[in-house]
Structure 1
Amino acid sequence: MTLEFFSATDVGRARDNNEDSVALDESVGLAVLADGMGGYNAGEVASQMLTGFIRAELGRWLKEAGATASVGDVRRAMDICVDNANRAIFNAANTNPRYAGMGTTLVLGVFRPEGLLLGHVGDSRAYRLRGGQLTQISRDHSLLQEQLDAGLLTPEEAVFSSNKNLVTRAVGVEDAVMLELHQHEVQPGDLYLFCSDGLSDMLDDDALRQLLINHPSLSEAAQALIDGANDMGGRDNIALVLVRAEGRVRSEGRAWWPFGKR
């Protein structure tokens, strides 16, 4: 199985600066997306610190560990790297008044022969398109999600909620952060979408699904998603990562993977 990656960001139609950030290291199957928050340019600083730190530190570890690293090893490396990045952002926010209160969401994916190790913090999302069906495979860390879980709101009411953008977990706002981390099987033909809420707030799941299905080229799909969000108002910055798995599993049951030697 081989993987194709594409990423893009857009300032949207209501903001002057872009506080979203993405980073890829295709050689080790690494994809990172962050949506910053904070006054002045602090959100931009937080998101760029996070994506740059993870790409450099986790990317280096994955290169050195290679395909011999176990799933448990990779999970621990992801946890440690996010914890270190969190402390760096938290310390910067507490030593520079301009950055006070800054933080960022995170979607972190590591594609391995065993599948996708997906970590996230906040309300940026990960979706999987498989067999024409789009599934959200991350769970928002937000007040709105907690209200939905408690039965205080219906999904229809949630669309109009004023609490839509209140996150309950973010990187850099406290001295420790909990990365929610799960493993997902990857099948040939899967298409994965990581995105900030500048996309998912503007386009519902059915609209995302239709645009992904109608644009088989990753670059064309990315542009169609950005255009769609902007056509609906573009009220926030937009960031996305697309990853497509291609190929067939070998007859003996092992998949070819482009990262390191097996």
Structure 2
Amino acid sequence: MKYEFCAFTDPGLARANNEDSVTFDESTCLAVLADGMGGYNAGEVASGMATTFIRTELARWLAQAGRHANAKEIQRAMEICVDNANRAIFNAAHSNPQYSGMGTTLVMGVFQDARLMLGHIGDSRCYRMRKGELLQLTKDHSLLQEQVDAGLITPEQAAVSINRNLVTRAMGVEDAALLEVSECRVENGDLYLLCSDGLSDMLSPSDIADLLAASESLTQKATRMINLANRHGGRDNISVLLVRAGDALSKRGLLSRLWGA
């Protein structure tokens, strides 16, 4: 299985700075996205520390052992890297008054052959488009999601609640962070979207499905997603990381260039 990656981030319309951070390593098929929080520029610092640390450390481990590693070994490596990054953010927040209270959400994926090891903390999400059907693979670690799960409110009420950004898990706010990891089977033609809540709060699932289903390049899809989120208000930073799986990506890429798709 071959993978194609594309990532964009945008400050949105309401914020002066961008506290999201997004990165990927094509050689090890690693994707990482973080949405920072905190005063001053602290959120930007936290998310940048998370993505940089995880990409550096986990990509190094994957390059050495990833090809021969099983799911449990990859999960353990993900957890160790996230734990080390969490401690670095936590220590920085407690040693510098300007960074006090900073933290970040996280969503990350390790794509290996026909398997995805998916991890997340907080309300940054991963969606999968397969054969025209959109599925949210992650469940938010948020107060609203807990209320939905308990039957206290409906998903429709949660979508318009003023409390939808209150997360129950984040990196850097405590000396330990619990990464939720799941293993997913990848099929030829799958398209994965990792995103911050600046996108998922502004676009409905049907909006996301329509944009992912369009016959366009990953760059065009990502750009249109960000533009539509801004047209809907752009109330937060917007980050998009797209990953397309397929045995014939190189051929499709050539045809796309020939036809301008």
- Shorter-chain-normalised TM-score: which range? over 0.9
SS at the partner of 1:27? coil
> For residues 28-51 of structure 1, what are the alpha-carbon distances to aligned partners after superposition, in whole Å with 9 as ceiling and x for unaligned?
010000000000000000000000
1:216 offset after TM fit, Å? 2.5
- Separation in 2 of the partners of 1:181 and 1:226? 27
Aligned equivalent of 1:27:
27
Bigger CA drift: 213-222 or 4-13? 213-222
- Separation in 2 of the partners of 1:245 and 1:139? 22
- Separation in 1 of the partners of 2:157 and 2:34? 27
In structure 1, give the amino acid aligned to 2:48: Q
Aligned equivalent of 1:13:
13
Q: What runs of 5+ residues in structure 2 fail to find an aligned partner?
A: 249-261
> For residues 101-137 of structure 1, what are the alpha-carbon distances to aligned partners after superposition, in whole Å with 9 as ceiling and x for unaligned?
0000000100012500000000000000001010000
In structure 2, give the amino acid aligned to 1:246: G
> For residues 130-167 of structure 1, what are the alpha-carbon distances to aligned partners after superposition, in whole Å with 9 as ceiling and x for unaligned?
01010000000000000100111012211221210000
Q: Is the 8 A contact 1:11 1:18 kept in 2?
A: yes
- Separation in 2 of the partners of 1:137 and 1:10? 23
1:59-208 to 2 correspondence within 5 Å? 59-208=59-208
Aligned equivalent of 1:253:
none
SS at the partner of 1:28? coil
1:215 offset after TM fit, Å? 4.3
1:214 offset after TM fit, Å? 1.7
SS at the partner of 2:141? coil
In structure 2, give the amino acid aligned to 1:43: G
Q: Is the 8 A contact 1:71 1:114 kept in 2?
A: no
Aligned equivalent of 1:246:
246
Aligned residues: 248
Aligned equivalent of 2:53:
53
- Separation in 1 of the partners of 2:215 and 2:173? 38
1:169 offset after TM fit, Å? 0.2
In structure 2, give the amino acid aligned to 1:103: G
1:66 offset after TM fit, Å? 3.7
- Separation in 2 of the partners of 1:178 and 1:217? 35
Which ranges of 4 or more aligned residues in structure 1 deviate by more than 2 Å? none
In structure 2, give the amino acid aligned to 1:115: R
- Separation in 1 of the partners of 2:63 and 2:38? 33
TM-score (norm 2): 0.94
Q: Is the 8 A contact 2:2 2:113 kept in 1?
A: no
SS at the partner of 2:27? helix
1:35-50 to 2 correspondence within 5 Å? 35-50=35-50
In structure 2, give the amino acid aligned to 1:152: L
In structure 2, give the amino acid aligned to 1:59: A
Q: Is the 8 A contact 1:18 1:44 kept in 2?
A: yes
Q: Is the 8 A contact 1:11 1:17 kept in 2?
A: yes
1:212 offset after TM fit, Å? 1.1
Q: Is the 8 A contact 1:87 1:172 kept in 2?
A: yes
Q: What runs of 5+ residues in structure 1 fail to find an aligned partner?
A: 249-262
- Separation in 2 of the partners of 1:91 and 1:159? 34
Q: Is the 8 A contact 2:114 2:187 kept in 1?
A: no
